[in-house]
Amino acid sequence: MPRPFVPVLIVPVLALAAAAAQPAHRSTQDGVYTLAQANQGKDLFAGYCQSCHTPTVHAGPPFRNKWFGRTLGELFGYMRREMPKTDPGSLGDEEYATLLAYLMRINGMPTGSTPLAADSAALHRIRIDSLPRSSAAPTSPDHRR
Ligand code: HEC
């Protein structure tokens, strides 16, 4: 009796289905950073950033108006390119990631169990938003395909 072909076909199909079901992106409401990370970011902010701007300018309406709908990757890139103003890019990527965590924290975004990775590509898939992934998905540019 010849070997059945079916399993050979099913495995790749299942793999494709799994890949398609994976979320194209997350939002900052999905618990994408840890509390410990935000606390480290708070210390960094006090040491390197607060001399020029208080946390207040990064929380609430000013932050929402400027950053909601954009991605953490954009904010990460901006901070690496421009901040601290006197010495841009002087911190390490991990430090910029903890600063992102701090900014999310002061904007009331929920913490999670996995620290935010200092990975620009991954950060570009996390939308800065007040909506969780499920509600934010239809308007995301990542969702087009
Ligand atoms: C020497 C002063 C100075 C320091 C230090 C500084 N900044 Fe800034 N920052 C500015 C100025 C001025 C702006 C306004 C935009 C501009 O002029 O480029 C700004 C803007 C920003 C913005 C954009 C605000 C918004 O939403 O429009 C972010 C985010 C930011 N800074 C983060 C940081 C972080 C994080 C640090 C510490 C690592 C830092 N800054 C340190 C001067 C500074």
Residue 20: C-alpha distances to residues 16, 64, 100, 114 (Å) = 6, 31, 29, 23
pLDDT for residue 137: 45
Closest ligand 1 atom, CA of 62?
A: 26
What residue's CA is closest to ligand 1, atom 11?
A: 85
What whole-number distance in Å separates Cα of residue 121 and Cα of residue 124? 5
- Is the pLDDT at 17 greater than 60? The verdict is no
pLDDT band at 132 (very low <50, low <70, confident <90, very high): confident
Tens digits of per-residue pLDDT, 105-119?
Answer: 999 999 999 999 999
What whole-number distance in Å separates Cα of residue 108 and Cα of residue 84? 24
Q: Nearest-CA neighbor of 128 among 103, 145, 91, 111? A: 103
Count Cβ neighbours within 10 Å for each residue of 74-85 and write b for 16 or more, e otherwise: ebbeebbeebee
pLDDT for residue 134: 55
What residue's CA is closest to ligand 1, atom 10?
A: 85
